[in-house]
Amino acid sequence: MTALSHPRKTSQKPLPMESLLVPQVPRGNYLNLQEEKQRLQLKKFLLHRMFVVASIQENTEKTDVAEYYEQAFQSILKHHLGEAVTGLLLVYPTSMLHILESSTGTLYQILEEYLSHQNEEFMIKDMKIIAISHNIPSRLFMQWHISLIKVPVLYLDDVTQSQTLEEVITEFLTHTHKLGLYLFKTIKVGTKGLGDNLHQIVPDLLPPEQIIKYLCKSKEFMNPAEFMNMYNKPIHITLDSEIVWPAPSYF
């Protein structure tokens, strides 16, 4: 005798509409790719380099500028452990050039620290962000260097009067890059400081102060407030097709 088998009833629930419309495929993005590359290279964060110029208030002790940044770094690094700042601060008689290397969060906190003094009479003013190099492979500066350019450097002509902005920027970046390579090759890690005689040792590698003052007045570059406003602005843009009814279907 054979037993009769009855077909087993199975409950089939309709699949959600979202699963039919949106492909269930894991997707990455370029940021994930870069972070994974940094993880494989045993790096904790993406490294960036920022070039900043600014004017200095009259009757300001140049050592006060250096002390301000040292205190700012110590305060910021309490919240960004392991993200040390390296670079170069050149303090001229009436202006300054600052090159900074660190993580995104640390660099932006340095700009925010500067902006916190905007409603008061602060010794640093007219700051402009000249360039930011993102995801650089390695540091050009092994530590943070400071040099006070006490003796004015004399120049035969003012290049800013005869050159275009592109030519001035090219000369500025060429000087800073050559100066950075010189310091990388000659300054040993752990050196206390550069001293205040760079204008005598490598006068040809120092960016002329006239160029720095010219860049401070240039309207083509963003100040920290404009830059941070752009950075904090959401990048998501609502399209017209997303607010019409009925909602469009994507296949």
pLDDT digits (tens, 9 = 90+) for 118-144: 888 899 999 999 999 988 888 999 889
Please give the share of the chain, as a percent, with pLDDT higher than 90.
33
CATH of domain 44-232: 3.30.70.100
Residue 5 or 183, more confident: 183
Burial 120-134 (b: 16+ CB within 10 A, else e): eeebbeebbbbeeee
Q: How many CB atoms lie within 10 A of CB 84?
A: 15
Range with top average pLDDT, 34-48, 99-113, 179-193: 99-113
pLDDT of residue 152: 58
Between 9-13, 31-35, 117-121, 168-172, the lowest mean confidence (pLDDT) is in 9-13
Query: Mean pLDDT over residues 228-250, rounded?
Result: 68
pLDDT band at 250 (very low <50, low <70, confident <90, very high): low
Please give the share of the chain, as a percent, with pLDDT higher than 70.
69
Spatial separation of the C-alpha atoms in residues 34 and 108, rounded to whole Å: 20
pLDDT tens digits for range 88-99: 999 998 999 999
**Contact in structure between 87 and 100 (CB atoms under 8 Å):** yes
State both tokens at 45: 């964060």
pLDDT band at 79 (very low <50, low <70, confident <90, very high): confident
pLDDT tens digits for range 28-52: 677 777 666 655 544 567 899 999 9
Name the region of 136 (left: φ>0; alpha: ψ -120 to 50; beta: rest): beta
Query: Mean pLDDT over residues 159-166, rounded?
Result: 78
- How much is the mean pLDDT over the chain? 79
Query: Mean pLDDT over residues 109-116, rounded?
Result: 94
Residue 182 or 12, more confident: 182
Q: In 41-127, which residue ranges form alpha helices assigned H by DSSP? A: 62-77, 104-115
pLDDT of residue 195: 66
pLDDT of residue 2: 47
